[in-house]
Amino acid sequence: MKTSDFDYDLPPEYIAQTPVEPRDSSRLLVLHRDTGTIEHAIFREIGRYLRPGDLLVLNQTRVIPARLYARKATGGRVELLLLRKRDDHTWEALVGGKGLRVASKIKVENGPEVEILEILPGAERLVRFSEPIEPYFPNIGHIPLPPYIHTPLIDPERYQTVYARHPGSAAAPTAGLHFTSRLLEELQAQGIRLGWVTLHVGLDTFAPVTEDNPAEHKMHTEWCELPPETADLINQTHRQGGRVVAVGTTSVRTLESASVQTPAGEPLTAHPDHRPLSIVQAFSGPTSLYILPGYQFKVVDAMITNFHLPRSTLIMLVSAFAGRETILNAYEVAKREGYRFYSFGDAMLIL
């Protein structure tokens, strides 16, 4: 297996620069992984492909306005992109600016002083604010859109899901951007249940794998939580023969991180696809789970996802779920049919 196996050509005009309105009017490519069959729909029609007793698992993380601007003592401008919080004063951050060494100090524009504590890989630095930075976010923070989006976002809430509750992400869990509150209510009225998890997304999620052998790539660590009530819903859904449908790769990684093998004698019914059943336990903490082809999924039965960057860990994850050739073929079909790609693009349902 080579990283180049997950490459594909995508002309820039396929990259969505703005979200569609309303959210659920985006297109939906439905991929049946057992046959490779593809259907085309509108996202608001997703209920046609779900059944009563299915469980949608959604990531409630909220994107923080993590892009900040600061000044050096010399007056030079510095850009900070906060990635992971260590404690109330300390963050891992991408720092753009020359001559910033350990012990260097800069001043956030209209905010506190920052000291560089440690040089981390690449442009990452461990930084310490003189006081907690979160209270300053409403006035000085900027939502960090991905680098392939060049059109300014008029409404920052369009880079949040309608159910975003827990601040902490440097990027949105974009598969969830297609849901409206009304659509979620309609799905529940149809007998589909909702379960909630949290995974705070880091920018490493979107970074291409640079190693020739993807197995040599060092997977990023992200904090996630699967609460007890969601664990109970998942286990109940499997016992009753329903499907666990993960909304986004972040939900997939949270669910699979929380999986445990079924204890001997556990009275679980056989799953329709006859794979070994497993259960999940409540989980809270860091995960560096790296899903490559060959991985055996233990919890997730179907997933909703967007179209991902070539050579990324995300296209490798969906290839592990549906098969590399099946995914790459679906991407070619999506291009021919004019689907929109990446964060503000269209969606795929993999059954």
* Model pLDDT, residue 220: 79
Is the same domain home to 162 and 233?
A: yes
Is the same domain home to 83 and 176?
A: no
Is the same domain home to 120 and 104?
A: yes
Is 148 part of any domain? no
Is the same domain home to 186 and 101?
A: no
**Distance, first Cα to last Cα, the chain:** 25
Is the same domain home to 221 and 83?
A: no
Kindly report, residue by residue over 263-277, the tens digit of the pLDDT. Answer: 443 433 334 444 445
Is residue 295 classed exposed, middle or buried when 0-12, 13-18 and 19+ CB atoms within 10 A define those classes?
Answer: middle
Contacts of 135 (CB under 8 A, 6+ apart): none
Contacts of 18 (CB under 8 A, 6+ apart): 151, 153, 344
Supply the mean pLDDT for the chain: 91
Is 223 part of any domain? yes
Q: Which of 152, 106, 98, 158 is nearest to 133 (CA)?
A: 106
Cα 302 to Cα 299: distance, rounded to the nearest angstrom: 9
CATH number, domain of 113, equals 2.40.10.240
User: Using alpha carbons only, what angle is made at residue 97 by residues 94 and 100, rounded to the nearest 5 degrees?
Assistant: 90
Supply the pTM of this predicted model: 0.90
Is the same domain home to 249 and 133?
A: no
Kindly report, residue by residue over 182-240, the tens digit of the pLDDT. Answer: 999 999 999 999 999 999 998 766 677 889 999 998 887 899 999 999 999 999 999 99
Domain that holds residue 80: 67-140
Give me the tens of pLDDT residue by residue for the chain, a chain 351 residues long: 999 999 999 999 999 999 999 999 999 999 999 999 999 999 999 999 999 999 999 999 999 999 999 999 888 999 999 988 999 999 999 898 877 889 899 999 999 999 999 998 878 899 999 999 999 999 999 998 988 999 999 999 999 999 999 999 999 999 999 999 999 999 999 999 999 999 999 876 667 788 999 999 888 789 999 999 999 999 999 999 999 999 999 999 999 999 864 444 343 333 444 444 558 999 899 999 999 999 999 999 999 999 999 999 999 999 999 999 999 999 999 999 999 999 999 999 999
Q: Considering only the C-alpha atoms of the chain, give the largest distance between any 2 of them, rounded to a whole number of Å.
A: 69
Q: Which tokens belong to 3?
A: 């990283």
Is the same domain home to 51 and 126?
A: no
Q: Which of 303, 209, 192 is nearest to 250 (CA)?
A: 303
Query: Which of 92, 116, 140 delimits the end of a domain?
Result: 140
Is the same domain home to 95 and 159?
A: no
Beta-bridge partner residues of 195 = 57
Number of domains in the chain: 2
Is 215 part of any domain? yes
Is 145 part of any domain? no
E strand or H helix that includes residue 118: strand 113-119
CATH number, domain of 229, equals 3.40.1780.10
Cα 210 to Cα 66: distance, rounded to the nearest angstrom: 26
- Going from the C-alpha of 222 to that of each of 21, 254, 341, the distances in angstroms are 31, 10, 24
